[in-house]
Amino acid sequence: MKRYTLLAGFVLAALGAAWAAHAADAKIEALARSCNSCHGLNGVSVGASMPSIGGLSESYLYNVMLQWKHGERYSATMGRHFKGYSDEELAGLAKHFSALPWVPVVQSADARVLAHGKEATERCETCHGATGGQPDDKDTPMLNGQWAKYLELELMKYRTEGVDMPHKKMRKNAQKMGEDADVAAAAKYYAAQPK
């Protein structure tokens, strides 16, 4: 009888752990659905100033969300969203969106703009790869097929002193871009890359 009681205890503990995991997954799913209104179904955005996030690396997404939560990275809205989230919830969201496929939203640009953009992205290649689709580590986002307007806005934040953007190398390289026209061309170049 003692053995059956012990076995029943193990079964109940396992069922309890499975239920807790299911409840945690359901909570992350609900939080992720709230992200869809801006970032699109499965993290593929349909709005030019809103980035696609599905398929970006887990560590990149988690770090960026923590930066917003703690006010280390400028955003008009994201910091306010994440202030009420626990670090575990942010980790769950990062894991959720990183498990989705990266779907480039390829945008067209004329040949002159693409040539200008290719030239302007010379410094970007070392971290993001020649077409923005081959980052050198998991903390660097893919840029290929990301919305051009979003990329341009982010680059302009890095170029602007006084705007909190934590990546020092990005700030330095963005500020070395000749003029705002280079920023727009670089953004259009990466947005036009399928991979």
Q: Report pLDDT digits (tens) over 28-53.
A: 999 999 999 899 999 999 888 899 99
Q: For residue 22, give both structure tokens.
A: 């299911």
Specify the pLDDT at position 18: 41
Domains for the chain: give ranges and CATH numbers: 2-191 (1.10.760.10)
pLDDT interval class at 92 (50, 70, 90) = very high
In the chain, DSSP assigns E strands to: none
Name every residue whose Cβ is closer than 8 Å to that of residue 28 and which is 6 or more positions away in sequence: 89, 92, 93, 95, 96
Mean pLDDT for 85-113 is 96
d(CA 62, CA 78): 13
Radius of gyration of the chain (CA): 21
pLDDT exceeds cutoff 70 at 6: no
* pLDDT for the residue 47: 85
Which candidate, 162, 158, 131, places its Cα nearest to that of 145?
A: 131
95 has a pLDDT exceeding 90:
yes
State the chain's mean pLDDT as an integer: 88
What is the mean predicted confidence (pLDDT) over 102-131? 94
Using one digit for the tens of pLDDT, what is the confidence trace for 130-181?
999 999 999 999 999 999 999 999 999 999 999 999 999 999 999 999 888 9
User: Stretch 90-110: mean pLDDT, rounded?
Assistant: 96
Helix, strand or coil for residue 19? helix
What is the per-residue pLDDT for 22? 41
Which residues are within 8 A (CB) of 5 and not within 5 positions of it... i.e. 6 or more apart?
A: none
- Extract long-range pairs of 150-159: CB within 8 Å, 24+ residues apart: 150/45, 150/48, 150/49, 150/50, 150/51, 151/186, 151/187, 151/190, 151/191, 152/183, 152/184, 152/187, 153/49, 155/183, 155/186, 155/187, 156/180, 156/183, 157/74, 159/183
pLDDT at 193: 96
State the average pLDDT over residues 46-67.
95
